Structure 1
């Protein structure tokens, strides 16, 4: 049985849960405008970078 299709782009900020205007670009714009979310994103990215071969491309 196939798994349901899911998107990996957030519809809301995973750090403050605010609704995003759009998934990918909206998230990037949001973290540019919200310093607390940008800091949380950078911390998250620092923690997962070593878990991915070749580093985190995003």
Structure 2
């Protein structure tokens, strides 16, 4: 497929956006792997404060 320079540029910018989205997704996955423990402690404390 022949592409004019503009199309090529658009394609490369789309690729860059997708790459950064993917890396963001991986970072958030890593954060989510760490988060649950902290969230669990917070929820337990919250429930304790709710119970009379």
Smaller-chain TM-score range? Answer: 0.3 to 0.5
**Which one has the largest radius of gyration?**
2
**TM-score, normalising length from structure 2?**
0.35
